[in-house]
Amino acid sequence: MTIEEDSAWVDALAGRVDSVRAESSDLVREASLLREHLLAQEFHVVTDVPTIDAGREEELIARARAAGLLSESAPRSRRRWFAPRLQAAAMVILAVGGAGLWWSTRPPPETLRGVVGGTVHLEARDPPALKRRLIEELVAARVTVSGYERFGHLGIDADLPMPISPEVARVLERHHIPVPVDGALVVEIDPPNRR
């Protein structure tokens, strides 16, 4: 067969041949008849096949083992791989949970102890750090602040703008400091259990 004959046969099988050309060659007639025969066939597609057939799966595994393609210890090796990783994951979960529990039982970084004579008394794990943070936050809210240390107490003095701006109110609220009535803020910060 030549390339032209092959091309004519494929065209006839695909239905791309006119009736005049179909009668001109035995190969083209053959391909046209084959096409008609294929199109006349009825195909039944089975759609109710279960996606997972446990019996068939077990049969295939047994055949693979009998042929030596699958070892008897394959599932156990998977277990050997899985168990140490499960143990490691459990250890990580316990460590993180333990750290979270330890963190949640720590005293808060700062606690309002009360207001005595207009002075707000705070208790903090790190008084110098809280003093610096309060000064930075109030200065950022456009408040004039000065820090001090008197008789072993760290503290700050500030003249708050009246009425209190929303920025200043957020700083005071974040540190649980009540808003002073006259705008004069005095805060003393002590370490825990100092009193």
Cβ atoms of 119 and 188 within 8 Å: the answer is yes
Q: 27 is written with which tokens?
A: 């190969």
Round to whole Å and give the CA distance between 5 and 16: 14
Q: Residues with Cβ < 8 Å from 9, sequence gap 6 or more? A: 1, 27, 28, 30, 31
The gap from C-alpha 2 to its chain's centroid, in whole angstroms, comes to: 63
Identify the pLDDT of residue 157: 93
Round to whole Å and give the CA distance between 181 and 1: 108
Q: Where are the domains of the chain?
A: 3-40, 54-103, 110-190
DSSP class of residue 38? Answer: H
Number of residues that this document lists for the chain? 195
Confidence of residue 73 (pLDDT cuts 50, 70, 90): low
Cα dihedral 46/48/54/56 (nearest 10): -20
DSSP string, 78-101: HHHHHHHHHHHHHHHHHHHHHHHH
Identify the pLDDT of residue 140: 93
15-29, 87-101, 117-131, 151-165: segment of lowest average pLDDT: 15-29
Pairing of strands 110-116, 184-190: unpaired
Preceding peptide of 108 cis, ω within 30°: no
Task: Calculate what percentage of the chain has a pLDDT beyond 70.
Answer: 78
Identify the pLDDT of residue 126: 87
pLDDT for 31-59, tens place per residue? Answer: 888 888 888 887 777 667 667 777 888 88
Range 130-135 average pLDDT: 91
Cα dihedral 125/126/130/136 (nearest 10): -150
Identify the pLDDT of residue 37: 86
142 pLDDT above the threshold of 80: yes
Cβ atoms of 158 and 185 within 8 Å: the answer is yes
Q: Residues with Cβ < 8 Å from 110, sequence gap 6 or more? A: 122, 123, 124, 125, 130, 175, 176, 189
Range 162-175 average pLDDT: 90
pLDDT for 92-120, tens place per residue? Answer: 887 777 766 655 555 556 676 777 888 88
